[in-house]
Amino acid sequence: MALPIVFAFLFISFTLAQSTTTFNVRSYGAVADGRTDNQKAFVRAWTDACSLNGASIVYVPRGVYMLGPVVFTGPCKGPIMFLMSGVLKAPSGPTDATTWINFRSVNKMLMKGGGTLDGQGSSAWPYNKCDQNSNCKQLPISLKLDSVSNSRFESFRSVNSKQTHISMFGCENVNITNVEIYAPADSPNTDGIKMGSSTGIRITNSKISTGDDCVAILSGSSGIDVSNVVCGPGHGISIGSIGKYPGEKNVDGVSVRNCTLRGTDNGVRIKSWESPNAAVVSNVLYQDIFMDKVQNPIIIDQTYCPYASCNQQMASHTQIKDVTYRNIWGSSSSEVAVDMECSKKFQCKNLVMTDINLASHKPGVSLKSSCSNVIGRVFGRQNPRPCF
Ligand SMILES: *[C@@H]1O[C@H](CO)[C@@H](O)[C@H](O)[C@H]1NC(C)=O
Ligand SMILES: *[C@@H]1O[C@H](CO)[C@@H](O)[C@H](O)[C@H]1NC(C)=O
């Protein structure tokens, strides 16, 4: 079934790969008619590729493949490429699965090929309902990476996910580059790229238009690098929310550079719940960021308490410290362009703002900044006038 071919150049960074073996999903009976479910063919192709002693390629040729929820499990015996040139279409409607395409425990994987993941979200979004404690019906995440390490995901599109487009948990050294993410501005909970308990994640050269956060960095993330990403519409680049659950881990080392936010609700945001759950957010750099008609270009919100379950009497127990904003310019669509509401119990410490140059997108309106419980310093140009 497998076609052995010499394809080593595709694995340039995957050393030791002299030759690779290709496992074409069509040879496993996959039908690209957009209707037949191809779950079995895809999983069998993956399983054979993964158990090969050496480098392998799971190849999805051009065409539209209906694909039910799949789990591609490792560890694999060698480096593995998921070469997706076709369009994968999720089943329509809400499903009981919490993930659609799930890679688990895979090391040295490369996904590329210019293909598309079509989550068929519009058939499921009406079922997205949350209760008053913010517990929502879990629609499936389009691409979920669990314990994936030393891997690259590049050159593909994700459209109309039912929930988050790409979500990572327990991942290490994963680069996501040249991806295009799209869902309508009013699609619920369609985060672009979300991560938790992950280390060494790089997101570069990508375009994310969606209904929720562009990038969301959650509990236990460290060494996160976001650069050359264009966001909008959506809710912007977020750290948090932090502190909703007990036992959340710290977020340390986040760099967001050379990004554009276009028409988003927030630009760069750090958000934590008013709760007794302790965590630290530290070593964050936002540099060379262009805001284009962003509602809240620079925002820290530690007074987040939208539901009855959190205790408004209590301050956030998330400590935010060592955050630098450097060279942020463009336009704000609200009057308060810099809004920093830090915890009254754990003041924000060592916030540094250098060269902030924001203007209202409406002529003649001057912008303001607002802050509480902030200890920091400012350098260079400051527009609006700093509040600390
Ligand atoms: C991700 O990118 C960084 C910086 O270019 C590089 O050092 C690292 O090796 C890359 N990781 C993978 C898995 O390709
Ligand atoms: C910054 O991002 C823009 C695209 O938004 C890109 O054209 C430019 O090369 C990037 N600059 C650097 C220094 O990476």
pLDDT, one tens digit per residue, over 218-242 is 999 999 999 999 999 999 999 999 9
What was the pLDDT predicted at 15? 46
- Let me know if residue 65 belongs to a domain: no
From atom 5 of ligand 2, which residue's Cα is the shortest distance away? 228
As a whole-number percent, the residues of the chain with pLDDT over 70 amount to 93
- Let me know if residue 149 belongs to a domain: yes
What was the pLDDT predicted at 69? 98
For residue 96, give the CATH number of its domain. 2.160.20.10
131 versus 53: which is more confidently predicted?
53
What DSSP line would sit under 238-293, residue for residue? EEEEESSSTTPPPEEEEEEEEEEEES-SEEEEEEEESSS--EEEEEEEEEEEEEEE
Ligand nearest, relative to CA of residue 289: 2
Neighbours of 29 (CB within 10 A): 13
8 versus 142: which is more confidently predicted?
142
Pocket test of ligand 2: the residue of 180, 204, 228, 288 to mutate, having most ligand atoms within 8 Å of its CB, is: 228
What was the pLDDT predicted at 237? 98
Cα dist from 245 to 20, 52, 132, 206, whole Å: 45, 41, 16, 31
H/E segment holding residue 40: helix 39-50
Cα dist from 91 to 34, 81, 276, whole Å: 10, 24, 41
Pocket test of ligand 1: the residue of 80, 111, 175, 205 to mutate, having most ligand atoms within 8 Å of its CB, is: 175
- Let me know if residue 358 belongs to a domain: yes
Distance CA 145, CA 143 (A): 7
Ligand nearest, relative to CA of residue 174: 1
Our answer to whether residue 235 is catalytic in this structure is yes
From atom 10 of ligand 1, which residue's Cα is the shortest distance away? 175
**Sign of the torsion formed by the C-alpha atoms of 111, 114, 117 and 121:** positive
Ligand 2 atom closest to Cα of 229?
Answer: 5
29 falls in which pLDDT band (50, 70, 90)?
A: very high
74 versus 3: which is more confidently predicted?
74
pLDDT beyond 70 at 31: yes
Task: List, chain by chain if needed, residues with CB within 6 Å of any ligand 1 atom.
Answer: 13, 150-152, 173, 175, 202
Average pLDDT, the chain: 93
Number of domains in the chain: 1
- Let me know if residue 2 belongs to a domain: no
- Let me know if residue 81 belongs to a domain: no
The whole domain housing 332 covers 86-383
Ligand nearest, relative to CA of residue 288: 2
